[in-house]
Amino acid sequence: MSPSEAQPVTAYIALGANLGDARSTVRQAVQALGTLPQTRLVRSSSLYRTAPIDSSGPDYINAVAEVATTLSPQALLTELQRLEQAAGRERPYRNAPRTLDLDILLYGDITLDTPALTIPHPRMHDRAFVLLPLAEIAPARVGSDLLQAVANQAVKRLIEY
């Protein structure tokens, strides 16, 4: 079966930024997801503001997007890293402030653990800034127990997109 005949897989992508015009960057990145090869943007969450966790710098702007893609998980990761680079992403140290961060949260129902990519994202269940926007667009993917476990984390949903 050629890639054009493959059935699309539903994937969820976390987006975050805290350098420059973070709101604009995240909005543009959501739209850019729909321009990736063999990928269609299905929906995206509201924007959320959160303080950095295990990091420094200004507050983050976060969102989650749902895409339908026939790219493999590794090919999708490569495309996301290309978008990060285009936004000026640098990786001077772990959890450094960033112009754009894109993470694959879920890719269909697969589980993957390689040096380059782990799916489901290994820390997604610990982070309100991931779970709240994911619950907004895919409530069946986030149990109330998970939301309760992160209820003490300060996350503010922004009214405007």
Q: Which residues are catalytic?
A: 89, 98, 101, 103
DSSP assignment string, 23-71: HHHHHHHHHHHTTSTTEEEEEE---EEE--SSS-SSPEEEEEEEEEE-S
Contact of 13 with 79, CB cutoff 8 Å: no
Give the span between the Cα atoms of 146 and 132, in whole angstroms.
10
Measured from the Cβ of residue 147, the count of other Cβ atoms closer than 10 Å reads 15
